[in-house]
Structure 1
Amino acid sequence: MNYRHAFHAGNHADVLKHVALLAICDALTAKPAPAFALDTHAGRGMYALDGNSAMRTGEAEGGIARLFAEAPKHPAITRYLAAIKACRAAHGGASYPGSPWLLAHALREHDRIAACELQPEEAGQLQANFAGDPRIAVHARDGYAAIKALLPPKFGATKINRGLVLVDPPYEAQLEEFDTAIGALREALARWPQATYVLWYPIKLRRSLQPFYRRAEAIPAKSSFVAELLVRPDDSPLRMNGSGLLVLNPPWQLDQTLGPALKQLTTALGEAGASSRLDWLKSES
């Protein structure tokens, strides 16, 4: 595996993913019972946007940098921007938090987080970044395999009934990755059916994703939707024109939060022909 998220940190895909992630965390922490979050492809947890990798691609300029400049006012977006500012206040003005940092920021002292990373260098940095946080267990292992090992979550005699699983693979296998991810989601639901599951996916040509949409609709979750942000028209197979999230068992009214936020993100980050959508695959009756 050659993928390094440092080249892509803070881009438009991260913006979509992390706005939604924080909204889900806020829904979980609205109730007093403890929650558990599993991040299957965690990376190193924090990135430097002034580092060589990020500067080489410049992708953050079209993502978080543009969003700060446009400063949309939707509460889910301002919540996300406030988290970025908190990360930078603690770790420097060019810092960008990955999903493990955002989970640690948004969840509470009695919640628990497991972050998995297979690449040794990235896993080592992830461990170093969170060495002082007893809530976070870092696993240097394959995230898909961790689903079988870590779900349902149990800490001593305590079972945690509420939580989130984020599946954010690198898609180095391209469309074949969807087969692996769908299988992992089915396995996870069988083990922990009440959790919320989020699968991030890239969009080049949307028509090539039709088999994925059909398989996603057949997953036996109580409810599910897709939320997508395209920053340019869906007509180039050579570029990532946007990305999407498949959300299984979304928290109550998450769609009402993300729908308007998506429209503001489209305006703030999009080029000519940009678009967004939030479509239910299955509604809980």
Structure 2
Amino acid sequence: MLAYRHAFHAGNHADVLKHLVLVQVLRHMNRKDKPYWVIDTHAGAGGYALHEAHAQKNAEYADGIERLWACKDAPEAVADYLALIKAFNPSGALLHYPGSPAIAHQLMRPQDKLRLFELHPTDHRVLEATFGAQPGVQVRCADGFVALKSLLPPPDRRAVVLLDPSYELKTDYAALRHALTDALQRFAVGTYAVWYPVLQRRESHLLPQQLRRIAGQADWLDVRMQVREPDVSGFGLLGSGMFLINPPWTLHDTLRDVLPWLTGVLGQFKGAHFSLEQQAA
């Protein structure tokens, strides 16, 4: 786990989907004056320089945020997300990509709280330097899955919990399921946003159904987008999904309108497709 660095993948198609959804969730949370917490269990470094070596190694952002950068016809929700990313690039050139902590921090209000966890020592140092002194923010070098237990339920009983491990280790799948099950027992009304990869791996195929079982009778929404074919060896990140428990009631319709356009822009083969399913009371 400690070998994983999100800088290699910053701004890729999976980040686009994840952060587009996150922006919509936080916009919805901001409709009420009551404070809320954002808890990011795998925060990474918080932001990434796309011109530096890590991001340039595979240049994954070229098939992600860069494809959207100059679009003039983007749907409203995509335009909103793009405006936030462009705020981190005041020169107009795509040089920086904010991670989930930076996006959340940009959208949250003074009364809201941000709790960030990252185990990788280098990324934690960057995260601490960027956000450690910010009001309402706490940064910890800890396993976010384990630390989550001490934070739920939050004092005002409003929270968005983002769970997005690397899944580089097969044990991440079980750790995610255990953490989410425990979190729902402690705080059933929270909004939980789980990012997951679409891979040619059994664990990846099984995870969405497992998450639905964990959600039980709660409202859930599962959005998935595949933009690539497997490489000749059958490997590679084909796409990604976001599974939300207790999602905003507006999110399904927003994504229904956005996904055909987004899949068309990000798709790298003729079979690129998306799915959008929900369980709603």
| TM-score normalised by L of structure 2 | 0.93
Structure 2 distance, partners of 1:221, 1:99, is: 28
Distance 1:12 1:191, change over 3 A: same
Partner of 2:12: 11
Matched, 1:224 2:220: yes
The equivalences for 1:48-127 within 5 A come to 48-89=49-90, 94-127=95-128
Deviations 1:102-145 (A, max 9, x none): 00011111110101001111111101111342121111100101
Q: Spell out, residue by residue over 1:218-270, the C-alpha distance to the aligned partner (whole angstroms, 9 max, x if none).
A: 11351112101111246873111100111111011211112222221101111
SS in 1 for 2:88: helix
Tell me the equivalent position of 1:273.
271
Aligned to 1:199: 194
Output one character per residue of 1:14-49: Cα deviation in whole Å (capped at 9) or x when no partner. 000000000000000011111111000000101000
Alpha-carbon distance between aligned partners in 2 of 1:89 and 1:233, rounded to the nearest angstrom: 35
Structure 1 Cα separation of the partners of residues 42 and 91 of structure 2: 24
> How far apart, CA to CA, are the structure 2 residues paired with 1:259 and 1:8?
26
Amino acid at match of 1:226: D
Q: In 2 relative to 1, CA 81–52 (structure 1 residues): closer, same or farther, beyond 3 Å?
A: same
Deviates more, 1:9-18 or 1:236-245: 236-245
Whole-angstrom distance in 2 between the partners of 1:46 and 1:138: 14
CA contact (8 A) 2:195 2:242 kept: yes
Letter in 2 for 1:273: G
1:74 is displaced (CA, Å) by 1.2
Counterpart secondary structure, 1:113: strand
Question: 1:238 maps to which residue?
Answer: 235
Which is further off, 265-274 or 127-136?
127-136
Q: How many residues align?
A: 277
Which has the larger displacement, 83-92 or 62-71? Answer: 83-92
CA contact (8 A) 1:193 1:221 kept: no
Partner of 1:37: 38
RMSD: 2.0
| 1-structure distance, mates of 2:275, 2:116 | 29
Asked if 1:256 corresponds to 2:253, the answer is yes
Q: Could you say if the C-alpha distance between residues 125 and 235 of structure 1 is closer, same or farther in structure 2, counting changes exceeding 3 Å?
A: closer
**Cα distance 1:14–1:71, how it changes in 2: closer, same or farther (>3 A)?**
farther
Q: Displacement of 1:205 after TM fit?
A: 2.9
The whole-number CA distance in structure 1 between the counterparts of 2:182 and 2:126 is: 29
Could you tell me how far apart the structure 2 residues matched to 1:231 and 1:70 are?
Answer: 18
Runs of 5+ in structure 2 lacking a partner?
none
Q: 124-133 or 41-50: which moved more?
A: 124-133
Contact persistence 2:153–2:187 (CA under 8 A): yes
Aligned to 2:207: 212
Give 2:174's match in structure 1, choosing from 179, 184, 189. 179
Question: In 2 relative to 1, CA 212–32 (structure 1 residues): closer, same or farther, beyond 3 Å?
Answer: same
Greater Cα offset, 8-17 or 116-125: 116-125
TM-score with structure 1 setting the length: 0.92
Deviation, structure 1 residue 214? 2.7
What secondary structure is seen at the aligned counterpart in 1 of 2:138? strand
Aligned to 1:167: 163
Corresponding residue SS for 1:225: strand
Q: 1:66 to 1:91 in 2, by over 3 A?
A: closer
Alignment CA distance shift 1:208-1:177 (3 Å): closer
Contact in 2 for aligned 1:11/1:64 (Cα 8 Å):
yes
Matched-pair identity in %: 38
CA 1:210–1:93 in structure 2 vs 1: closer, same or farther (change >3 Å)?
Answer: closer
Give the conservation status (yes or no) of the 8 Å contact 2:199–2:205: no
